[in-house]
Structure 1
């Protein structure tokens, strides 16, 4: 695991965009996209590079991590809508090649199984972008999720619903259920890239990177993966015991 500590959110976005830029220009064709606040700086930088530096996503396909269950189709807070407005509508990826879980299906449990099968058939994902919740969730794998879990319907904690209420007209509007890629599904990607900013993420980041491997902190599953990059700002790095080493290792990276 490589841990990179940057000065602020914008610098984190540039560093993560560098990872995606290198991957796409080197032939990566399957990208994993995340929603939420943390990835926004990444998407802004990738859009800029597309417009100003010729970074093309025309050959790529993309898969979303998760989707709410039960929101009206086209709801502005559905993740299918958010990823279009924040990223894919601004680059040259084919809209038909941007896939997400079907939270509107009559049978959402079967839809979860179909999405997991699609990821197996079309994958593996070359680079998977991740955020982290204050309780250590990635995707919507809440504490207690099996480290080997697959794509499934699951229930959000009240903490997660409160955290997401800012995007809605109050917590009562936030769905209780989602379809999420499981921790085992996420771990099938070739390269996992987690971005976290802000002091409110510091405890979760420290638990994920330096704490024990445990379902109580789902993001700790990253410790098992052979290729992980964690990019955090100074505030999110505040609880890392080995922060000085991470800075030293980056400055003295093998060439």
Structure 2
């Protein structure tokens, strides 16, 4: 597979080695942010893609008793349900909740081997709120921007967070209708869904404009055979294409693509 774009591409032998390389970069960034007396903001997707990064981050932090108290997880999105006053965040105990994922699959993992004073605190997990979506962008901007955004691409339609095909490169955080492809991809992300009818139809999502405009660096992560099409589509792109939202990477500062060897292979 040959890239026609200038975005740096790194192929790692395994997802685990991919995760370790990015985790080491995050830890270095946290150290530099601490020296500057500020927090380190990490843009985070829920789901399978960044799991190797979170696992490696926990392992490396535990080995060195690293201080994660200055880390902030800027979560990308959350599902919405109908509430008495309009759209509301889903129950954080729901199997598909991105806030549940952040607590159980990220915060618990990175804190597992750390003493309490060095752990990532509960207040260090941010999520947008449907009552005032624009406030999320203001909060990120006021904090100095996201130091590193970990990005994932939908396998079937290239969605990033809940931004569906056709999304504008300038759009900020807001309430979106989930595309059919996004809902089907999320059935695999959250296997507790027995049928697509169970997948919520709306969510609140960080915008493509937020990713590109409020991040200092962005890393697109793709691993596994099911991400070969997404990898090829991204590598063959030359600029942002609304039909494949993951191409927002072209508009990001200091973009990178990280693949495992399987995702880097030509799809059969």
TM-score normalized by the length of structure 2: 0.82
Q: Which runs of 5+ in 1 are unaligned?
A: 103-107, 241-255
Distance (Å, rounded) in 1 between the aligned partners of 2:215 and 2:63:
29
What's the offset of the Cα at 1:183?
0.7
Instruction: Report 1:1-255 matches (<5 A).
Output: 1-27=7-33, 29-70=40-81, 71-90=90-109, 91=111, 92-102=119-129, 108=130, 110-134=131-155, 135-166=157-188, 167=190, 168-187=193-212, 188-213=214-239, 214-239=241-266
* 1:117 Cα offset (Å): 2.0
Equivalent residues of 1:116, 1:151 under 8 A apart:
yes
Q: How many residues align?
A: 234
Q: Partner of 1:243 in structure 2?
A: none
For 2:44 and 2:244, how far apart are their aligned partners in 1? 21
**Aligned structure 1 segments of 4 or more residues deviating by more than 6 angstroms:** none
Alignment-derived partner of residue 105 in structure 1: none
- The TM-score, its normalising length taken from structure 1, stands at 0.86
**Aligned partners of 1:185, 1:210: CA distance in 2, in Å?**
24
Deviations 1:39-76 (A, max 9, x none): 11111110111211222211122210111112224323
More off after superposition, 48-57 vs 175-184? 48-57
- Structure 2 alignment gaps of length 5 or more: 1-6, 34-38, 82-89, 112-118
* CA RMSD in angstroms, aligned pairs only: 1.7
Q: 1:94 to 1:76 in 2, by over 3 A?
A: same
